[in-house]
Amino acid sequence: MDDNLKDRVALGHSMVERHIVFFEESFGRVTSQWKYDGSRVTEADLALSKAFEADLSERFPEDLFLSEELDSEGGVIDIDSEFAWLVDPIDGTNNFARGIPACSISVALLKGGVPVYGFLYDQMSRKIIHGGKGYGVWVGDREVSFRNEKPDRHSIVGAQHCGLERSLKDDCALQQKFKIRNFGSSAIQLAYTVVGWTDGVIAHRVNVWDVAAGVAMMKETGGCIHYFKDDPFPLKTFDVRRPTFGYLAGRQQMKDEMLTVIGGT
């Protein structure tokens, strides 16, 4: 591993590990506010975002810090540094605020705008899921071995059920073929597919901070990601108000079968 990357991966792991205590102490015990788009934000989201930014500025001040919780009035940020960190302090904030453990901390390291390593603290398993291409994927201290099973009626697909017209159509089609789950955290749903706890994932309304960590890990597994429009990576600019996008992912056979089932591209 390149020393620059190695040092940053070590920092990423230590940052996530260090902030788990605050995450768990705040779990289900926070007050909520509502953002411009109607999504929930808590004092813990904001505190964690600031804590990650402080950690990063102390160790790698030349790196760019990007977070879901940056000021929405700040406008577009050009990604002009070699390394950037894309942070979702709490993914699944509705679950977190209500004390439902399907929530996570998600951190992605980008090089040249491309996710190269991802970290996700999963409150359900109480493990850090992390990895990147060429470095393995790990659940805690256990390296994941990957399986490539043929899709069948027992296969599990994570879905959003976000109420969009296409989502309703696609979810209905997939329910006829597979078992469907919605954990309420986009980051978790992709990470679980990466490590093989689920077989596929589909989402129609996500942001780059929801998936960047999982995208980095997916590259190591040989899994495939299909975006319904353009691939958002490499990320050249960052704007918390950027439009959402959709994708599906899984191992090759599963990805192909899901696309066949929904009858779309």
- The pTM of this model reads 0.94
* Residue showing tokens 């990957």: 146
State the average pLDDT for the chain.
93
DSSP alpha helix (H) spans, 3-130: 3-26, 43-59, 93-98
Using an 8 Å Cβ cutoff, are 224 and 138 in contact?
A: no
Q: Give the pair of three-digit tokens for residue 202.
A: 């589909």
In 3D, which of 240, 164, 242, 149 has the Cα closest to residue 199? 149
pLDDT at position 73 is 66
Q: Is the peptide bond before 234 cis (omega within 30 degrees of 0)?
A: yes
Using an 8 Å Cβ cutoff, are 180 and 159 in contact?
A: yes
Q: How many CA atoms lie within 13 A of 161 on its CB side?
A: 10
Residues composing the chain: 265
Using an 8 Å Cβ cutoff, are 205 and 166 in contact?
A: no
pLDDT at position 37 is 63
pLDDT at position 26 is 96
**In what helix (H) or strand (E) does residue 143 lie, and over which residues does it extend?**
strand 142-143
pLDDT at position 158 is 97
**What are the structural domains of the chain?**
3-143 (3.30.540.10), 156-262 (3.40.190.80)
State how far the alpha carbon of 242 is from the alpha carbons of 136, 205, 208, 209, in Å: 31, 12, 9, 11
Distance CA 104, CA 123 (A): 6
List the chain residues with pLDDT less than 50.
none
Tens of pLDDT along 149-204?
A: 899 999 999 998 776 778 889 999 999 999 999 999 999 999 999 999 999 999 99
Among left, alpha and beta (phi > 0; psi -120 to 50; other), residue 126 is left
pLDDT at position 3 is 83
Distance CA 103, CA 96 (A): 6
